[in-house]
Amino acid sequence: MKRKPHARRGESEKREENDDDAGRRAKKKVRECCKAIGADRMVTLTYRENMVDRETALKHWKAFCRKLGKHKQFHYVAVIEEQERGALHFHVAVTGRQMYALLRSIWQSVLGRGPDGQQMGQVNVRDPHRFGFGQNGAHKLAAYIAKYCSKQMQCRALDQKRYFRSKGIVVPEVDSVRLHCTTMLGAVQAAFSIAAQFGLEGIQSWCNNGLGVVWLSTAPRPKGADMECPF
DNA sequence: AAAGTGGGCCAACGATGTGG
DNA sequence: CCACATCGTTGGCCCACTTT
């Protein structure tokens, strides 16, 4: 078989489609990773000043990761958000209780002090229960973080990452289960009983008779991966 | 026809580990 | 603390199919 020679990066005729494509894929991956680590809190790292330089922001991020990693190993999925005026900040999905004082002091030590000795950044931790993410917050959180991947931003050029994640996040592999049922109702029941093994708290579901698909997502448990059942 | 999925290939980049 | 090296992963590209 013959292959068309690859266009060089950024020079494809389908540039835009490819970009969309990659965005969608990254988005999906981010969602998977959030679920995989059971992310339930969102940390936001911000700058006091209007930071617009992606490169130095990334340096800060890197330094932050290193320092924090020394104290405790942590898993994260992070994205950069860009506000209207171009100000950058980080959204980081993490799991479990955070040591706020530690995060804060590290972030601030990375940024250093301003001319008058003022702190140059802030840290905000969103607790799922107190800030509205609630019981099925994991879904919202994942979706919230993921949306920044497909969003186009000025600060992101060709070849630049859409998101960041710690190593060692294993996205669980897919389990396929054959269902022995012939009706939609039967399928729904079967799917629920499978999902019940992982606990049904905070479950989200969606189904479409026309397409013949049931989609369930279990929230709080560590092993709560998405599952889909076509039949 | 148009849009979406999934896989494979390859290059470039980032996360990490190491040694100066 | 910084520079360098390694290894794994992402991102860009294309193809082959399936869905809409």
Domain count, chain A: 2
The values of phi and psi at residue A46, to 5°, are: -125, 165
Q: What was the pLDDT predicted at A210?
A: 63
Q: Is the pLDDT of residue A89 over 60?
A: yes
Do residues A68 and A107 touch, judged by C-beta distance below 8 A? no
Q: Which residue is nearest to nucleotide B11 (CA to C1')?
A: A9
A87 and A151 part of one domain:
yes
Radius of gyration, CA atoms only, chain A? 21
Query: Domain end: A115, A130, A165, which one?
Result: A165
Instruction: Give A21's pLDDT tier (boundaries 50, 70, 90).
Output: confident
| Contact, A14 CB vs strand B, < 7 Å | no
Query: How far from chain centre, in Å, is Cα A119?
Result: 28
Return the H-helix or E-strand segment holding A46.
strand A41-47
Shared domain check, A146 and A87: yes
pLDDT at position A179 = 65
Distance in angstroms (rounded) separating the CA atoms of residues A65 and A21: 29
Under 8 Å between Cβ of A136 and A224 = no
Averaged pLDDT of chain A: 76
pLDDT-above-70 percentage for chain A: 77
Query: Which of residues A117, A135, A165 is at a domain's end?
Result: A165
User: DSSP H helical segments within A51-175, as ranges?
Assistant: 54-71, 100-111, 137-150
Residues A105, A158, single domain; the answer is: yes
- Predicted confidence (pLDDT) per residue in A149-186, tens digit: 877 777 777 788 888 888 777 766 666 666 677 777 77
* Bases on strand B under 7 Å from any protein CB: 5-6, 12-17
Query: Is the CB atom of residue A48 positioned under 7 angstroms from any atom of strand B?
Result: no
Question: Could you tell me the distance in Å between the CA of residue A78 and the C1' of nucleotide B18?
Answer: 26
Q: Quick count: other Cβ atoms within 10 Å of Cβ A16?
A: 10
Phi/psi of residue A210, nearest 5 degrees: -60, -45
Which strand C bases fall within 7 angstroms of a protein CB?
8-16, 19-20
Name which of A112, A119, A137 is nearest A201 in CA terms: A137
Q: What is the pTM of this model?
A: 0.80
More confident residue, A100 or A135: A100
Is A126 inside any structural domain?
A: yes
Q: Is residue A4 part of a domain?
A: no
> Is A211 inside a domain boundary?
yes
- Judge if the beta carbon of A62 is closer than 7 A to nucleic acid strand B: yes
